[in-house]
Amino acid sequence: MENETNNIQRKIIHIDMDAFYASVEQRDNPEYRGKAIVVGGSPEGRGGVVATASYEARKFGIRSAMPSKRALQLCPEVIFVRPRFDAYKESSRKIREIFSRYTDLIEPLSLDEAFLDVTTDKLQIGSAIEIAKQIKQAIKDELQLTASAGISVNKFVAKIASDLNKPDGLTFIGPSAVEEFMEKLPVEKFFGVGRVTADKMKRMGLHTGADLKKLSEQDLRQHFGKAGGFYYKIVRGIDTREVQPHRETKSLGAEDTFAYDLTTIDEMNAELDKIAKTVHERLLKYGLKGRTITLKIKYSDFKQITRNQSFPHPVNALDIIIKTTQQLLLSTYPEDKKIRLLGISLSNFNEVTLPPENKNGQLSLFDDM
């Protein structure tokens, strides 16, 4: 794969807004500035989860996806703010407009982050660091918001780098630093490695990129499937995925394969509850609502079925997702079989820009490998 034509080193920038929803609220409501605020959740701590927390609130340990009740325990003065998705979408649109001054190769991953390929840039600036600085400055001047940038030779490293010096960060991992950076990286920081995989790696004594590097490609594939092939390359700094400007994904979801087959409806409902929460969080993160909810079931004999229900209006509420999928599950009875996997997804969005997904409904790292 390293032939002459591939020797051109890419320049990739990953931009991610700082405490995005909370920063928009602090900008638009001066009374929230300098205060611990969370967007989402409910003020009485009755229910709901935190979408995001201002940096002031994070000092108390408040984080995205945390139950409101817990946030209130950590900081009794915290202010709960109702989300205004239209405002976030508007800021998101403006940020993308700023990006487009420099390149047309823009791949948004959610409302607040995107990859940019600036190997050649429209203004012939040349330096990716300089471009990132200018973009950050334009976001400050025109939107009164801060962003963090990661700059490197591939998407994987750029994405991790943008998170290293938040907020208002700018982190450059140059070509000669990539391999050492990957060796030192803890496996749980690998973008796309979920908690389950990270735990599995640790049980195998694999804690960092350097540990993964000791395994052959065959070993990695044996333990981690297709992803293993990706890990083999990425720990060597090789990630040839292109920035894809016109990517459109049609559904967003999550699924879980169980260690034991499920036999009772109570167990199944409990699992649906958990999966629905993950899906709900993702919908919030991407600012999306869908008109169709789909339930996927795989039985212990590997037979797979899907059932879906559509609504006249787009939905994203957790209780609707739970209720609908539980009803869809019931509609499959009597199906006297054990269940190995359950999945929930939403589709029929009004949006066009979405993160890439693989068939498991998770952010995909492996499509182009």
- Residues assigned a catalytic role: 113
Whose Cβ is closer to ligand DCP: residue 40's or residue 343's?
Answer: 40
Per-position x/- string for 64-103, each x denoting binding to Mg ion as judged by CB under 5 A, each - no binding: ----------------------------------------
Q: Report d(CA 240, CA 154) in Å as an integer.
A: 7
Distance (Å, whole) CA 36 – CA 2: 50
Binding range to ligand DCP, per CB under 6 A, among 19-27, 89-97, 342-350, 360-368: 19-27
Choosing from 12, 13, 15, 17, the residue that interacts with ligand DCP (CB under 6 A) is 17
The residue type of 153 is V
**Which residue, 32 or 88, has its beta carbon nearer to Mg ion?**
88
**362, 356 Cβ separation under 8 angstroms:** no
- Residue 110 φ then ψ, to 5°: -160, -170
Asked whether the bond before 334 is cis by omega within 30 degrees of 0, the reply is yes
Describe the crossing of helices 226-234 and 217-224 by its angle, rounded to 10 degrees: 140
Print the binding letters for residues 67-106 with ligand DCP: x by CB under 6 A, - otherwise. ----------------------------------------
24 and 44 Cβ atoms separated by less than 8 Å: no
Binding to ligand DCP (CB under 6 A) within 282-321 occurs at 284-285
Nearer to Mg ion among residue 17 and residue 235 (C-beta) = 17
Which of ligand DCP, Mg ion, none interacts with 166 (beta carbon under 5 to 8 A by kind)? ligand DCP
Does 129 contact ligand DCP by CB under 6 A? no
Query: Any contact of residue 239 with Mg ion (CB under 5 A)?
Result: no
- Residue 109 or 235: the one with the smaller Cβ distance to ligand DCP is 109
Q: Determine how many CB atoms are found less than 10 A away from the CB of residue 210.
A: 14
CA distance 298 to 6: 41
Stretch that binds ligand DCP, among 236-244, 280-288, 345-353, 360-368 (CB under 6 A): 280-288
What is d(CA 98, CA 94) in angstroms, rounded to the nearest whole number? Answer: 6
Distance of CA 154 to the CA centre of its chain: 18
E strand map for 82-219: 106-110, 113-117, 147-152, 170-172
C-alpha to C-alpha distance for 254 and 70, rounded to whole angstroms = 25
Among 112, 121, 239, 255, binds Mg ion (CB under 5 A): 112
| 16 near ligand DCP, judged by CB under 6 A | yes
E-strand ranges in 124-169 read 147-152
121 near ligand DCP, judged by CB under 6 A: no
Based on the shown chain and the rule CB under 6 A, indicate whether residue 346 belongs to the binding site for ligand DCP. Answer: no
> At closest approach, how far in Å is the CB of 64 from Mg ion?
9
Nearest partner of 351 among 276, 278, 286, judged by Cα: 286
Q: Give the contact letters, 33-52, x = binds to ligand DCP (CB under 6 A), - = no.
A: ------------------xx
CA atoms within 13 A on the CB side of 307: 13
Contact pick of 13, 16, 185, 316 for Mg ion (by CB under 5 A): 16
Q: How far is the CB of 270 from ligand DCP (least distance, A)?
A: 21
List interacting residues with ligand DCP (CB under 6 A): 16-21, 51-52, 64-65, 112-113, 166-167, 281, 284-285
What is the binding site for Mg ion (CB under 5 A)?
16-17, 20, 112
